[in-house]
Amino acid sequence: MEEEKCVFCMIASKKVPAKEVYEDQMIMGVLDINPASKGHVIMIPKKHYNNIYEIPQDEFLQYVSVARAVGYAILLSLAPNNVEMLYTKELTKGSITPHALIHLIPRYNDDTINHVWQPQKMEESDFVAIENAIKSAIEKVKAAETQKPAKPAVEEQKKPENGVKEVKPQINISRKVVVF
C-alpha cells in the first residue's frame, strides 16, 4: 500500500476528516466509523507501517503507552466494564486494514462482541515442536538485533527445524524489526 493512498495516512495528515479524541506528534486516536461498541477508538501511528512488527521498539513502546492512557480515559468517561486493546489486520468483516492500528474496544454487558474460539486439539509432541520452533526463532530475532546491518528476523528462518514445516510469514515486513 502506497502511503498517499492509505486512508489512515490521510486521516493522520487531515486530508480525511475524523472524530479525533487524541493527537500528538506520532499518534492519533479517532472514533472508529464502524464501531464494535460505543466509544470504539482506533489508535493510528502517523507514520505508515504495514503492521505493528515494522514499528521500531521505542516508537512501539510510546504507542502502546498512549493507547493504554486513552483506553483508561474511555473507562473513566463512558464507564464500560473494560476496554480491550486489540491488534488485528481485519478492520471489519472482509475489510483488511493496510496500516498498523490498535483498536480500543469498550466492553459492555449488552454488547454483541464475541471473541470466543473453539479450542484446537493438539498432541503433546505438537506442543513440544511448536514450543521449540518459537524459542528457536526468538534466538534468531535476538541474534539479528546484534548483527549490523540487521535483517528482518522472520526472513532468516531457512531450514525446517524440530519437525515443524517451515511456514513463510503471511505478513509482508519491509522494514527492520526491532525487538528485545
Residue 66 as a binder of Zn ion (CB under 5 A): the answer is: no
For residue 131 the three cell numbers come to: 514450543
Within a 10 A sphere around the Cβ of 67, how many other Cβ atoms?
Answer: 23
Q: Does 8 bind Zn ion (CB under 5 A)?
A: yes
Spatial distance between the Cα atoms of 102 and 125, rounded to a whole number of angstroms: 34
Q: Which is nearer to Zn ion, 9 or 18 (CB)?
A: 9
Enumerate residues 95-114 that contact Zn ion by CB under 5 A. 99
Nearer to Zn ion, 83 or 102 (CB): 102
By CB under 5 A, name the one of 27, 32, 45, 48 that touches Zn ion.
48
Decide if residue 6 touches Zn ion (CB under 5 A): yes
The count of residues interacting with Zn ion (CB under 5 A) is 5
Contacts for 8 with CB less than 8 Å, ≥ 6 apart: 44, 48, 97, 98, 99, 101
Reported residue count of the chain is 180
> Is 40 a binder of Zn ion (CB under 5 A)?
no
User: Which residue of this chain has its Cβ atom nearest to Zn ion in the complex?
Assistant: 6
Q: Which stretch, 3-11, 124-132, 140-148, 149-157, contacts Zn ion (CB under 5 A)?
A: 3-11
Shortest approach of Zn ion to residue 8 CB, angstroms?
A: 4
Stretch (H or E) spanning 76: helix 57-78
Residue 53 DSSP class: G
Find the shortest distance in angstroms from Cβ 46 to Zn ion. Answer: 9
Q: Which is nearer to Zn ion, 30 or 74 (CB)?
A: 30
Torsion sign across C-alpha atoms 48, 50, 51, 55 = negative
Residue 77, all three cell numbers: 468517561
Contacting positions for Zn ion (CB under 5 A): 6, 8-9, 48, 99
